[in-house]
């Protein structure tokens, strides 16, 4: 199972690498405006946000839905060939891809946490980072046209869905997972400080995920150097994922505070020193905290805090990568169009408010214990 999960993460995040690093630049080259790019990249996160509420109503994330989502991912990746130059069709393709991916990842994350545990999770998840960095370094050498990126996207999607199918087929139906699926103890209003903190943290990443490549190349940094910055961030992420087990034995809310504070500093440095390479590389080194450790600490805390573990992972995906991704893409698109120099300052401010929310939530939990 470890090998299958490693392969899944490798190819899943290879797809994410194409989607995040290259597609914004591809759309920019085709002629889309910054706000249009923001809208396109906000569509999939919106769907990811909505889906968990359907599961509250009784829809169950089971093997049949999982397999259907794999088919949807393949078909949506194929549809990009036809929709690339047509805004509304492109929007529909993105929505379909968002539905499929938002069902695939939480299902496999639950399998990972249950099968190998939070302390070994990083060692399997780091293969996703390796996939991300590999596709970044390879595709930049072959990106002669927009359709080359789509070729990579479709090919890797086929491989990822095949591996994901075998992960699902090799997963034993653990009775403990079946029992917990009937218990819903998730109260978003009761824990609103936690969820708002997670939401704002991911919203702050909108500038980075959707516009970092455009932002740096517009300021004179070469595309090759920008890819090296992306790759360096992933390298330190891999290191953190491999060694993070000892950190996840600490107070997970404290770990979240530290990682969010590092993110505040990271975005401010990109804002203040947009072309100073040593500082940009240092800012990227903080990716080890602001993404790798934050992600692992967040899903581990939710896995331990809630009885309905599968729904908790879906809500994490939906609220952070869903609504947070949507708001982040929209805000980043409009900020970059009208106040381009302040793009990452706005991200730093959002991360600061995320830090406040998690701090308030931690104090609240301490008072209850």
Residue 354's CATH number: 1.20.1250.20
Residue with tokens 């959707």: 210
**Contacts made by residues 134-141, CB under 8 angstroms, sequence distance 24+:** 134/14, 135/14, 135/17, 135/18, 136/17, 136/21, 136/227, 136/230, 136/231, 136/234, 137/227, 137/231, 139/17, 139/18, 139/21, 139/22, 140/223, 140/224, 140/227
Where do the DSSP E strands lie in 155-262? none
Low-confidence stretches of the chain (pLDDT < 50) are: 174-182
Evaluate whether 207 touches 268 at the Cβ level (below 8 Å). Answer: no
Q: What is d(CA 305, CA 299) in angstroms, rounded to the nearest whole number?
A: 10
pLDDT at residue number 177: 46
Residue with tokens 């034995």: 249
Let me know how long the chain is: 369
Residue with tokens 């104090």: 363
Number of domains in the chain: 1
Evaluate whether 8 touches 108 at the Cβ level (below 8 Å). Answer: yes
**pTM greater than 0.85:** no
Closest of 205, 156, 169 to residue 13, by C-alpha: 156
Residues in Cβ contact with 46 at an 8 Å cutoff, skipping those fewer than 6 apart: 95, 98, 322, 323, 326
Backbone torsions φ then ψ of 41, nearest 5 degrees:
-80, -5
Range of the domain at 362: 2-368
Q: What is d(CA 41, CA 332) in angstroms, rounded to the nearest whole number?
A: 11
């Amino acid at each position: 199972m470890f090998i299958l999960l490693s392969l899944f993460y490798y190819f899943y995040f290879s797809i994410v690498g194409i989607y995040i690093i290259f597609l914004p630049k591809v759309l920019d080259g085709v002629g889309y405006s910054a706000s249009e790019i923001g809208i396109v990249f906000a569509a999939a996160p919106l769907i990811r946000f909505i889906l968990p509420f359907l599961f509250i109503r009784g829809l169950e994330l089971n093997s049949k839905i999982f397999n259907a989502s794999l088919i949807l991912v393949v078909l949506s990746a194929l549809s990009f060939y036809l929709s690339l130059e047509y805004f509304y069709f492109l929007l529909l393709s993105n929505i379909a891809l968002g539905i499929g991916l938002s069902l695939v990842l939480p299902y496999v994350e639950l399998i990972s946490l249950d099968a190998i545990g939070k302390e070994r999770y990083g060692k399997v998840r780091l293969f996703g980072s390796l996939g991300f960095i590999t596709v970044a370094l390879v595709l930049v050498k072959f990106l002669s046209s927009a359709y080359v990126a789509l070729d990579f996207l479709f090919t890797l999607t086929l491989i990822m869905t095949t591996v994901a199918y075998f992960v699902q087929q090799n997963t034993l139906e653990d009775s403990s997972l079946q029992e917990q699926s009937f218990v819903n103890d998730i109260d978003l209003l009761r824990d609103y400080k936690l969820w708002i903190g997670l939401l704002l943290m991911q919203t702050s990443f909108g500038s980075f995920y959707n516009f970092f490549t455009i932002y740096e190349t517009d300021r004179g940094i070469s595309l090759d150097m920008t890819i090296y910055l992306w790759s360096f961030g992933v390298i330190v992420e891999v290191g953190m994922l491999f060694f993070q087990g000892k950190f996840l034995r600490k107070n997970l809310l404290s770990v979240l505070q530290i990682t969010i504070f590092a993110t505040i500093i990271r975005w401010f440095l990109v804002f203040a020193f947009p072309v100073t390479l040593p500082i940009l590389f240092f800012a990227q080194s903080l990716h080890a905290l602001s993404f790798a450790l934050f992600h692992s600490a967040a899903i581990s805390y939710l896995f331990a805090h809630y009885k309905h573990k599968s729904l908790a992972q879906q809500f994490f995906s939906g609220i952070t990568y869903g609504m947070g991704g949507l708001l982040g893409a929209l805000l980043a698109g409009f900020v970059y169009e009208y106040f381009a120099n302040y793009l990452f300052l706005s991200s730093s401010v959002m991360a600061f408010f995320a830090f406040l929310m998690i701090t308030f939530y931690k104090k609240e939990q301490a008072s209850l214990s």
